């Protein structure tokens, strides 16, 4: 959670608006990230699938884990950074010209996709670089 909060702070410093969307059972996590971001991120209210699609489609970038919303953002053509810390992005990863995948040690980083450090963690800097790359595609 600390890394997501740090990322939110850095993006907000550049004028980005950060909104955290969440699914069933995830609201406490979203609230904790927002609190740790010191006001940089806001928690969205509950959404239906069509509402979620509208929010994602209006975003300048979407960052998230191996979840349905990250695949939806990629399908909508939004700049997408998918974090695969434990699953195989070659098997489960989103596809598209504006998609960047960062894989942890447990995930299987494909040729041409970003690899993480030897420790297996994805850094805030790597995510920032991936956002810039996805937006420039």
What does the pLDDT look like over 105-133, one tens digit per residue?
A: 655 444 344 444 434 589 999 999 999 99
CB neighbour list of residue 33: distance below 8 Å, 6 or more residues apart? 1, 4, 5, 8, 20, 41
Domain ranges of the chain: 1-46, 48-137
What is the CATH code of the structural domain delimited by 48-137? 3.40.50.2000
DSSP letter, residue 116:
-
Q: What is the rounded radius of gyration, in angstroms, for the C-alpha atoms of the chain? A: 14
Mean pLDDT of 3-25: 96
Of 16, 40, 23, 42, the residue nearest 31 (C-alpha): 42
Q: What pTM was computed for the model? A: 0.85
What is the Cα–Cα distance from 56 to 7, expressed in whole angstroms? 18
Sole residue written with tokens 């609230």: 31
Mean pLDDT of 4-26: 96
Q: Compute the mean pLDDT over every residue in the chain, rounded to the nearest whole number.
A: 89
């Amino acid at each position: 959670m600390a890394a997501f909060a740090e990322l939110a702070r850095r993006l907000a410093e550049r004028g980005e608006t950060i909104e955290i969307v969440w699914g069933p059972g995830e609201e406490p996590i979203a609230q904790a990230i927002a609190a740790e971001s010191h006001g940089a991120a806001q928690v969205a209210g509950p959404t239906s699938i069509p509402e979620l699609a509208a929010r994602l489609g209006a975003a300048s970038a979407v960052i998230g884990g191996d979840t349905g919303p990250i695949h939806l953002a990629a399908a909508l053509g939004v700049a997408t950074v998918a974090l695969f810390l434990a699953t195989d992005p070659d098997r489960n990863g989103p596809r598209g010209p504006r998609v960047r995948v960062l894989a942890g040690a447990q995930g299987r980083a494909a040729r041409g996709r970003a690899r993480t450090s030897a420790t297996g963690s994805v850094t805030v800097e790597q995510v920032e670089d991936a956002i810039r790359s996805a937006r420039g595609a």
